[in-house]
Amino acid sequence: MNQAPDLCEQMGQAGYRKAASLFDWEVKVDRVLDIYRDAIKVHASARPTQPARRSMP
């Protein structure tokens, strides 16, 4: 690595971008919001089920 300072710089920048994309809180919040939105869509599109009827004693 000592003989290729440009390569070291490129690898360092690539590592920083990778870490930022995986561990940045704004990115995490966006991912969680997407998951919740998808879950809401799935729940809203599901057919409602009829509650079980209870027999009277």
Query: Domain-by-domain residue ranges, the chain?
Result: 15-43
Q: What pLDDT band is residue 56 in, cutting at 50, 70 and 90?
A: low
Helix/strand/coil for 6:
helix
Read off the tokens for 36: 């919740």
Q: Model-level pTM?
A: 0.49
Q: What is the pLDDT of residue 3?
A: 85
CB within 8 Å of 27: residues ≥ 6 apart: 20, 21
Angstrom distance (rounded) from CA 46 to CA 57: 33
pLDDT tens-digit readout, 13-46? 999 999 988 888 988 899 999 999 999 999 888 8
What is the reported pLDDT for 57?
63
